[in-house]
Amino acid sequence: MPRQSISFSKPNDEWLKAQIDSEEYSSKSELVNDLIRQARKQQAHIEWIRAKLDLSERSGFTSDTQEQILKQSKSLLNG
């Protein structure tokens, strides 16, 4: 695994140390890697939502009622 040297601001370093002291994580490296994993998942989710919004915007408007849309959505979710 590649090694990196990074600097933290004092408040961030204190927060990192507090997480390790609470035994939530065993090291700063483990914590930073977990934070990066979470950020990557969040970014992937945001990109998925953007793609869905783009597709929706390109598909135009509907004359369906809220109830019809809800029924269709539930039907799609339930297979």
pTM (2 decimals)? 0.66
What span, in angstroms and rounded, lies between the C-alpha atoms of 76 and 79? 5
Give the mean model confidence (pLDDT) for residues 62-66. Answer: 91
Check residue 8 and give its pLDDT.
96
Task: Mention every residue, 6+ apart, whose C-beta is less than 8 A from residue 26.
Answer: 20
Give the mean model confidence (pLDDT) for residues 48-59. Answer: 92
Check residue 60 and give its pLDDT.
83
Percent of the chain with pLDDT over 90: 81
- Band of pLDDT at residue 66, cut at 50, 70 and 90: very high
- Band of pLDDT at residue 50, cut at 50, 70 and 90: very high
Measured CA to CA in angstroms, residue 63 lies from 5, 43, 66 at distances of 57, 33, 9
